[in-house]
Amino acid sequence: MIELKDIEKYYASKGVKSYILRHVSTTIKQGEFVSIMGPSGAGKSTLLNILGMLEEPTYGSYSFMGEDVTTLNERKRIELYRNHIGFVFQAYHLIDEMTVEENIEAPLLYKKVPGAERRSRVADILDRFNMVAKKDLFPNQLSGGQQQLVGIARALVAQPSIILADEPTGNLQSAQALQIMELFKKLNEEEGITIIQVTHSEVNAAYGSRILHLLDGVIKEDVNL
């Protein structure tokens, strides 16, 4: 599903190149649950952003579902977001002016899903996440864990084939974190959704099927569990 070949990323400042990623090549297949680990500043977020096409690599090629996406125009990229990619952020990034229900509905609006289906899908997800009672609340009326649940629900509602999550539990207590991980595992196993997450926690990583260890921009280890 994902094929990275010789990805490099550097920032040039005052003529000095500082490398963030070097010679990153890897393949991620449909249905995998990959955790990216490594010390702070190793380039984990950068790698995930490149996978999510939020950043472009300085060098190398990236193909997503058989299509070369190394450089894509904004419109094509956003079409991929609509149909295939769901993002989950450490800081949740819900839209403050929208209620829980509206936040979850937003991707479907952009995807132009008809009204009836939209409502039933949102209701479905709310139900599944046990959030029906909270659907009319605004993000600032929820706890962090609840907000992240909404964030995940929002990523899932458009039925993506892959979820990219950058430290999804970084701001949460361990009990809530475990709940989110259980959810990821379930989604991965039951619905076959590919998941790539960045995490600092061994425990979280253990929920996945594969771990990429990143050190100074280089993949040091690639472990299948």
Partner 1 sequence: MFRINLKIAFRNLVKNRVYAAINICGLAIGLTAFILLLLYINHENSYDRWSPELNRVYQLRERHDFFTPDNKQYWQEVNDSKVAALVRENIPQFKYVTKVDNTWGSGSSIKAGSSDPVMMDYIRDADSSFFKVFDYQFLQGDPVTALNQPNSIVLKQRTAIQLFGTDQVLGKEVKIVMWRTDKGTPMKITGIVAEPDMPESLLFDAIMHTGEKDKDPINYTNFCRVYALAGSDIDTAAVNALLQKTYVDFKKSSFVQRKISFTDVYKTGKTPGLKAIPLKEVHASPPFDISWTDQIKPVIALSVFLLLISVINFVNLATAQSAQRAREVGVRKVLGAFKKQLMVQFLLESAIQCLFALFLSIALVELLLPMFNTYFEINLSFWYSHQLLGILTQLAAVFITITLLAGLYPAVVLTNYQPVAVLKGNYQHGFKGVRLRNGLVILQFMIAVILMISIGVMKLQTSYMADKNLGYNKAQLININTNYDEGFVNHIRRLPGVQYVASTTQVMGNVFNMPEEISYQNQNYNMNTVTVTMDALPALGVEVVNGRMFSAKYGQDTVNTVVLNQTAANLLGKNIIAKSYDVKSENEKYTFQIVGIIKDYHNEGFDKAVLPTIYKVTMLGGTSSTNNLLVRFNTVNYQPVIKAIEKEWRALYPDFPMIYTSAEDTFQQQLKSSHRLVQMIFLFSIVSVALSLLGLFALSAFMAERKIKEIAIRKIMGATDFQVINMLNRSFLILVALANLVSWPIAYVLINKWLQGFAYRIDMPFMPFLMATFMSMIVSILTITIRARKAAVSNPVEALKYE
Ligand X SMILES: Nc1ncnc2c1ncn2[C@@H]1O[C@H](COP(=O)(O)OP(=O)(O)OP(=O)(O)O)[C@@H](O)[C@H]1O
Six token digits for residue 205: 């990583």
The binding track of 123-162 with respect to partner 1, each residue x by CB under 8 A or -, is -------------------------------x---x----
- List beta partners, residue 62: 4
Q: Which residue lies nearest ligand X, judged by its C-beta?
A: 45
Q: Which does 97 bind (CB under 5 to 8 A by kind): partner 1, ligand X, Mg ion, none?
A: partner 1
Instruction: Choose the binding region for Mg ion from 28-36, 37-45, 123-131, 189-197 (rule: CB under 5 A).
Output: 37-45
Query: Helices marked H in the chain — which ranges?
Result: 44-51, 74-83, 100-110, 115-128, 144-157, 174-191, 202-205
45 binds partner 1 (CB under 8 A): yes
Tokens of 185: 């595992």
Nearer to ligand X (CB atom), residue 39 or residue 192 = 39
41-70 footprint of Mg ion as x/- string (CB under 5 A): ----x-------------------------
Q: Token pair for residue 173?
A: 């207590």
Tokens of 43: 């380039």
Ramachandran category for residue 119: left, alpha or beta (phi over 0 → left; psi -120 to 50 → alpha)? alpha
Stretch that binds partner 1, among 31-39, 89-97, 186-194, 204-212 (CB under 8 A): 89-97
Give the footprint of ligand X on residues 1-20 (CB under 6 A). 11, 20
d(CA 123, CA 89) in angstroms, rounded, equals: 23
CA distance 135 to 132: 5
User: Which are the contacts of 216, defined by CB distance < 8 A and separation ≥ 6?
Assistant: 22, 42, 43
Interacting span for ligand X (CB under 6 A) from 35-43, 105-113, 135-143, 144-152: 35-43
Our finding on whether 69 is near partner 1 (CB under 8 A) is no
CB within 8 Å of 38: residues ≥ 6 apart: 44, 213, 214, 215, 220
Cα–Cα distance for residue pair 165/151, rounded to 1 Å: 10
Alpha carbon 22 to chain centroid, angstroms: 22
Tell me which of 67, 79, 127, 182 binds partner 1, using CB under 8 A. Answer: 79
Among the residue ranges 7-15, 71-79, 168-176, 199-207, the one whose residues contact partner 1 (CB under 8 A):
71-79
- Contact positions vs partner 1 (CB under 8 A): 45, 49, 52, 54-55, 74-75, 78-79, 81-83, 85, 87, 89, 91, 93-98, 102, 105-107, 109-111, 154, 158
Residues that bind ligand X (CB under 6 A): 11, 20, 38, 40-46
